[in-house]
Structure 1
Amino acid sequence: MAQQTSDRIGRPPLTERRKAETRLEVARAAVRLFLAKGVADTSAEEIAAEVGISVRTLWRYFPSKESCVMPLLTGGIEHTAACLSAWRRDQGVSELLEMLTAGRVASREELVAMMNLVRLTRTEPGLRAVWLEAHREAEPAFAEALAHRAGLAEPNLVTAVQAAMINGALRVTVEHHAFHPDRPESLAAATAEALVVAARGLPT
């Protein structure tokens, strides 16, 4: 009985996991349709039908058809915030990179969808707004995690700037990787390089 209780505490209930899976399915379907038809010519009804849910259910999950792609973005951001929260003061950047790369591993399907989504942000203003909003919401979470690591009650200017540097490094890295698919390095390797550059700060 104790083990069952621990399992329930350790991970979300089945219904919550199913909702998260459905939201991710919707996000991938939306990207496929946006890629094929464009955002303007894709309807909410088509996105819902692609996943096998009702339009009413779609609107319960998302406020707009553009926001349907958000689950492809939030997973990596939440993972980064969790790693920053677990990053101890006696650990360096190399340990943070290990946590970032050894933890959450997106499926190939999810990674392809995210890269396609980021490419679409160059021509679809609505998707660009969602992409930027995801990173705007991420920055305070990063700052809170860094403040906790520094033993502060709340973020100060230093942790806010550090959070902005990490956030910017992640955004630019994903965009660079998406816009240059011929580059040989993996996204994980590119992310690690970008975070090391951010950690070094400005040239003297």
Structure 2
Amino acid sequence: MKPEAKRGEEHTMAAARGRPSLTEQRRLQTRLEIAEAAATLFADRGYDATTVEGIAAAAGISLRTFYRYCPAKEDALTPLFADSVGQLVDVLAAHPAEAPLSAVVEASFVTATAERRLADAARARRLVRVLGTVPALRARWLAAGQETQERLAPALASRTGAPVDSLEVRLLTAAVLNAFTVTMEYWAWQDEPEEFADLMRRALTFLRLDELRA
């Protein structure tokens, strides 16, 4: 079988199983590796001092490969935003609708990936400050939030008993994402902040989102 035909068959079988093909998984992993390398450099050096060449070197790829995945430096972090929401979606799917939303969100921060990314809290906070002060990065952060609403909405629909495209689910999805963004920025700019998971719990309690049930 020719390589092209094999890849096509692999993609078709994976699609039938409802998950990415091995080729797509490798691409997603490469995008994440680029994003994590960029996140570290942006946090440690700042946006202006970080170059595309530096990101590519840190990710262990060529410049040509970088530009295959990212049109520009400011696009490098986008997969990280999507992956964070993807983790929350996975955790929501693993918990019953009766579980308090704050407990589910908290559980999303104790996954191996989340703990690794938040292990250096000072660096994570520096990155969020960069995201908030560099217009090009902030624009992509907010745009990614809008795009990921479609992924999060189905996971939250069961908590209202309403259709996924209903006003209630749209409002709930927007509220959760906005609570996450505002809390993240608040956490990043405090001199001695609480743990992010604790702040997020406070935010959900204040918005009374924990009271929502199907």
Q: TM-score range by the shorter chain?
A: 0.7 to 0.9
Following TM superposition, by how much is the alpha carbon of 1:108 offset from its aligned partner in structure 2, in angstroms? 4.2
Tell me which residue corresponds to 1:172: 182
Tell me which residue corresponds to 1:194: 203
Tell me which residue corresponds to 2:72: 64
* Aligned alpha-carbon RMSD (Å): 3.2
Cα separation, 2, equivalents of 1:198 and 1:16: 38
Following TM superposition, by how much is the alpha carbon of 1:142 offset from its aligned partner in structure 2, in angstroms? 2.3
- Secondary structure of residue in 2 paired with 1:89: coil
Asked which structure has the greater RCO (Cα within 8 Å, sep 6+), the reply is 2
Give aligned pairs, total.
192
Of residues 123, 127, 149, the one that matches 1:117 is 127
Following TM superposition, by how much is the alpha carbon of 1:56 offset from its aligned partner in structure 2, in angstroms? 1.4
- Give the % identical residues: 36
Tell me which residue corresponds to 2:170: 160
Structure 1: stretches of 5+ with no match in the other structure: 1-8
Q: TM-score, normalised to structure 1's length?
A: 0.74
Q: TM-score, normalised to structure 2's length?
A: 0.71
Q: Flag the 1:27–1:114 CA change in 2: closer, same or farther, 3 A.
A: farther
Contact 1:73-1:114 at 8 Å conserved across structures: no
Cα shift readout 1:112-154 (whole Å, capped 9, x = no counterpart): 4543221112331111112112211222322222224444443
Structure 2: stretches of 5+ with no match in the other structure: 1-16
- Secondary structure of residue in 1 paired with 2:65: helix
Cα shift readout 1:3-32 (whole Å, capped 9, x = no counterpart): xxxxxx8x9777666544443332233234
Tell me which residue corresponds to 1:28: 36
Contact 1:72-1:110 at 8 Å conserved across structures: no
